[in-house]
Amino acid sequence: MCGIVGAIAQREVSEILLQGLKKLEYRGYDSAGMAVVDDKSNCTRVRRLGKVQALADAVDENAVLGGTGIAHTRWATHGEPSEINAHPHVSNSISIVHNGIIENHQPLRELLQQRGYVFYSQTDTEVIAHLVAWELKSAASLREAVQKSVTQLEGAYGMVAMDSNDPSRLVVARSGSPIVIGRGIGENFLASDQLALLNVTRRFMYLEEGDVAEITRRDVFVFDQSGNAVEREVIESNVESDAGNKGKYRHFMQKEIFEQSTALINTMEGRISHDAVITESIGVNAVEILNKVEHVQIIACGTSYNAGMTARYWFESLAGVSCDVEIASEFRYRKFVTRPNSLLITLSQSGETADTLAALRLAKESGYMAAMTVCNVAGSSLVRESDFAFMTRAGTEIGVASTKAFTTQLLALLMLVTAMGKQQKRIDAAKEKEIVEAIVALPAQIETALTFDKEIAALAPDFAEKHHTLFLGRGEFYPIAMEASLKLKEISYIHAEAYAAGELKHGPLALVDADMPVVVVAPGNELLEKLKSNIEEVRARGGLLYVFAEKEAGFNNEAGMKVVNLPKVSEITAPIYYTVPMQLLSYHVALIKGTDVDQPRNLAKAVTVE
């Protein structure tokens, strides 16, 4: 969580820092701050409660001058959102910005208080500022002070230290929270995400776990965990620099919903031939690994978990391979049994989710035959630490509510399942052709689903006044209902629950009355008749039904039931297709409620703390 930007240049950097922070607001947005030093060691620190715009307004009023600076947008962990708790935190000449959590902050705080340091904030970060200031007293350089300090820290950090007495360098350290260095000509930059720096450079160097780097205008010197000088590769980024703009859309979430057919086309490109999935495109050694897999263990959080839950149905029904799906924060803290020839798959949009990353690290020591990730961010920690990565190509997703990352995850997983089933001779050529045809038809079908935008928007007022909503689905549409319910609660703040429709009569039916909207995902598959019975159970209790179905299913608008009749699509890809109207419904409810759609309260895009 939180976003970091830093710059060291011959020009003024405050505008670069602000522009970078605006791109990072998706990571946290309860307060923001910057500290900038000029060549004469004058340091100006400005912090504001609220979004980056409040900081920008403050900088507009009183110019912040200097060529060396660090900045931060915060998602509170220790200490409420406030100006005092906003970063940078300072101690003597040292300013610090930090992402992550210092778990041993309390004993360190006590130790530093005994040494005479006074704490002004409730944050764990202020501990780092005083620690570096203390170590600097006896260290030969700021780098050495940071290296000595990080050995005393437990927890996760991506951090930058600046010494106003020496504006010619910044020192960064990474452990459990990403830092990327942007290389310029005669100037250098750093950030917690390359997106913050795309306006100033496209050449990036990713720090590895335990690295400490010293950055000057001309050079970057990287040291590994043991203090040895190391080289880190400079990679040219191909991320679009306008990825952070809304274009003609009102919100990033809306833009990202409407980008889904393109994202799907990009994700399938080069991975399917005429009527087959190209197994080799899944990753290095994929053929060998997929031949041998006897069990799949998926680990993920949030929306990515819902994608895993959907894929479980595909792994077992199409590829005939058993599959378990578990929430990363549960998996990492329980004793588990690794089945023989198990493939571990982590799913993540960001590739930086702390719980998923911790689960991957744990699993790598637990006898899995290989660790694969399905991820949207190249160069992310999950991608770098997994044996191989199958990238979704959703493009940058800014809206906190995940949309195109989910549908592209589903597509990637479906291609993976197909390749696995084929390698294991459980999917024959005819079935593979059927799946590939369904995949190829999907982008155009998604475009059609998007034309239902107005019709779905017309339903939204029915939900906006309600306090609860139930979502129902069966089979692989149960996780689609789960994802729909997550979307609604996340951006509209309406309490929502998803149930496997057959489970209704085992308890939740007691909640159903005329005040309870019940949304049903009702595609035409073999479970439709069963689902119709569940719908009748709701009708009989006076529940308000909203049924998303295909025309052929025979649902009609009538008292107590509103129907969105969608064109029929292949049963195989229908979970991806039905996701889109669910996203539109949440979006329109949130619009009516007037919430902050792209940055809903209390949340952040990349959850890099556990």
Smallest CA-to-CA distance from 385 within 404, 406, 370 is with: 370
Based on CB atoms, which residue is closest to ligand M6R, 64 or 486?
486
Count H helices and E strands in the chain, helices first: 19, 25
Based on CB atoms, which residue is closest to ligand M6R, 14 or 194?
194
Question: How many CB atoms sit inside 10 A of residue 233's CB?
Answer: 8
Based on CB atoms, which residue is closest to ligand M6R, 301 or 480?
301
- Whole-number Cα distances in Å, 107 to 103, 104, 110, 112, 542: 10, 6, 5, 9, 58
Minimal distance, residue 302 CB to ligand M6R, in Å: 2
- Whole-number Cα distances in Å, 528 to 247, 531, 578: 40, 5, 15
Minimal distance, residue 303 CB to ligand M6R, in Å: 3
| 356 forms part of the interface with ligand M6R (CB under 6 A) | yes
Minimal distance, residue 353 CB to ligand M6R, in Å: 3
Token pair recorded at residue 439: 């995949």
Map the footprint of ligand M6R across residues 483-542, applying CB under 6 A: 486, 490
Which among 84-92, 269-277, 344-352, 573-581 is the span making contact with ligand M6R, rule CB under 6 A?
344-352
Cα gap 483→479, rounded to integer Å:
6
Interaction pattern, residues 280-319, with ligand M6R; x per rule: CB under 6 A:
---------------------xxxx---------------
Which among 61-69, 223-231, 350-358, 544-552 is the span making contact with ligand M6R, rule CB under 6 A?
350-358
Token pair recorded at residue 295: 């069990």
> Residue 22 catalytic?
no
Size of the site for ligand M6R (CB under 6 A): 16
| 607 forms part of the interface with ligand M6R (CB under 6 A) | yes
Question: How many CB atoms sit inside 10 A of residue 118's CB?
Answer: 9
Based on CB atoms, which residue is closest to ligand M6R, 117 or 463?
463
What b/e sequence results for 298-325 when a residue is b if at least 16 CB atoms lie within 10 Å of its CB, and e otherwise?
bbbbbbbbbbbbbbbbbbeebbebebbb
The one-character DSSP state at 176 is B
Map the footprint of ligand M6R across residues 389-408, applying CB under 6 A: 400-402
Q: Which of 22, 23, 404, 605 is catalytic?
A: 605
The one-character DSSP state at 51 is S
Minimal distance, residue 393 CB to ligand M6R, in Å: 15
Which among 169-177, 346-354, 459-467, 573-581 is the span making contact with ligand M6R, rule CB under 6 A?
346-354
Which among 62-70, 207-215, 315-323, 349-357 is the span making contact with ligand M6R, rule CB under 6 A?
349-357
Based on CB atoms, which residue is closest to ligand M6R, 353 or 418?
353
Map the footprint of ligand M6R across residues 39-98, applying CB under 6 A: none
- Whole-number Cα distances in Å, 145 to 91, 130, 180, 213: 13, 11, 21, 12
Q: Which of 2, 43, 323, 375 is catalytic?
A: 2
Interaction pattern, residues 451-490, with ligand M6R; x per rule: CB under 6 A:
-----------------------------------x---x
| 353 forms part of the interface with ligand M6R (CB under 6 A) | yes
Minimal distance, residue 536 CB to ligand M6R, in Å: 32
- Which amino acid, residue 375? C
CB-neighbour burial class of residue 586 (10 A; exposed 0-12, middle 13-18, buried 19+): buried
Cα gap 433→102, rounded to integer Å:
52
- 137 within 8 A of 163, measured Cβ to Cβ: no
> Residue 301 catalytic?
no
The residue to which tokens 């994608």 are assigned:
307
- Omega of the bond leading into 508 within 30 degrees of 0 (cis): no
Minimal distance, residue 490 CB to ligand M6R, in Å: 5
Minimal distance, residue 218 CB to ligand M6R, in Å: 35
Minimal distance, residue 491 CB to ligand M6R, in Å: 8
Based on CB atoms, which residue is closest to ligand M6R, 212 or 486?
486
- 408 within 8 A of 262, measured Cβ to Cβ: no
Based on CB atoms, which residue is closest to ligand M6R, 91 or 599?
599
Based on CB atoms, which residue is closest to ligand M6R, 70 or 482?
482
SS3 annotation, 178-247:
CCEEEECCCCEEEECCHHHHCCCCCEEEECCCCCEEEECCCCEEEECCCCCEECCCEEECCCCHHHHCCC
Binding site for ligand M6R (CB under 6 A): 301-304, 348-350, 353, 356, 400-402, 486, 490, 606-607
Name the residues annotated as catalytic. 2, 605
